[in-house]
Amino acid sequence: MTTPCTAPKPPPMPGFFGRYQSAIDQAMRSNLRPRQAPLFTTLRYYLGWVDTEGNYDPQPAGKRVRPTLCMLACEAAGGEPTSALPAAVSLEFVHNFSLVHDDIEDNDRTRHHRLTVWAVWGIPIAIDSGNAFLGIANLAVARLRENGIPAAVAVEVGSAIADHYLKMVEGQYLDISYEERLEVSVDEYLAMIRSKTGALIECSVYAGALVGGWNRRDRKLIDALRNVGRSLGYVFQIRDDVLGVWGGQETGKPVGADITRKKKSLPAVHAISTARGAARAKILEIYRKDSIEGEDLARVLQIMDDLRTQAYCNALAAEHWQAAKSVLESSELADGSLTNGTAGDFIELGEFLLARQA
Query: What separation in angstroms does the CA of 172 have from each of 139, 175, 178?
Result: 24, 5, 10
User: How confident is the model over 205-217, as pLDDT tens digits?
Assistant: 999 999 999 988 7
Calculate mean pLDDT across residues 13-31. 95
In order of 29, 40, 55, 120, 282, the CA distances from 45 in angstroms are 12, 8, 9, 10, 44
pLDDT reading at 120 higher than 50? yes
What pLDDT was estimated at residue 148? 94
Coil/strand/helix, residue 111: strand
CATH number assigned to the domain with residue range 17-217, chosen from the 4 options 3.30.70.2740, 1.10.600.10, 2.60.40.10, 2.40.240.10: 1.10.600.10
Q: Percent of the chain, pLDDT > 70? A: 95
Classify residue 214 by its DSSP letter. G
pLDDT higher for 6 or 349?
349
Helices 65-76 and 342-355, packing angle to 10 deg: 150
Residue 215 confidence (pLDDT): 86
- pLDDT, one tens digit per residue, over 240-289 is 999 999 986 555 567 898 999 899 999 999 999 999 999 999 999 999 99
Q: What is the mean pLDDT of residues 154-177?
A: 96
Distance CA 49, CA 56 (A): 6
Question: Helix 17-32 and helix 39-46: axis angle, to 10°?
Answer: 170
pLDDT single digits (tens) 48-89: 999 999 999 999 888 899 999 999 999 999 999 999 999 999
Flag whether pLDDT at 337 surpasses 90.
no
State the pLDDT at residue 253.
66
75: left (phi over 0), alpha (psi -120 to 50) or beta: alpha
Alpha-carbon distance 213 to 292, whole Å? 50
Contact status, residue 27 vs residue 92, Cβ threshold 8 Å: no
* CATH 3.50.50.60 describes domain 231-358: no
Residue 115: phi, psi to the nearest 5?
A: -65, 145
Q: Is residue 203 within 8 Å of 91, Cβ to Cβ?
A: yes
Please report the pLDDT score of residue 1 as a whole number: 46
Instruction: Spell out the domain ranges in the chain.
Output: 17-217, 231-358
Question: What's the chain's Rg over C-alpha atoms?
Answer: 21
pLDDT for the residue 61: 81
Mean pLDDT, range 305-330, rounded to an integer: 96
pLDDT score of 251 = 57
pLDDT band at 7 (very low <50, low <70, confident <90, very high): very low
Q: Does residue 4 carry a pLDDT above 70?
A: no
CA distance between the termini of the chain = 23
What are all long-range contacts of 111-114, with beta carbons under 8 Å and residues at least 24 apart?
112/48, 112/59, 112/60, 112/62, 113/252, 114/45, 114/48, 114/59
Mean pLDDT of 288-302: 95
Q: Average per-residue pLDDT in the chain?
A: 93
Count of other CB atoms within 10 angstroms of residue 137: 25
What pLDDT score was predicted for residue 117? Answer: 98
Q: Is the entire prediction scored with pTM above 0.85?
A: yes
Choice between 231 and 7, residue whose per-residue pLDDT is larger: 231
H or E segment at 110? strand 110-111
Number of other CB atoms surrounding residue 98 within 10 Å: 21
- What is the three-class DSSP state of 97? helix
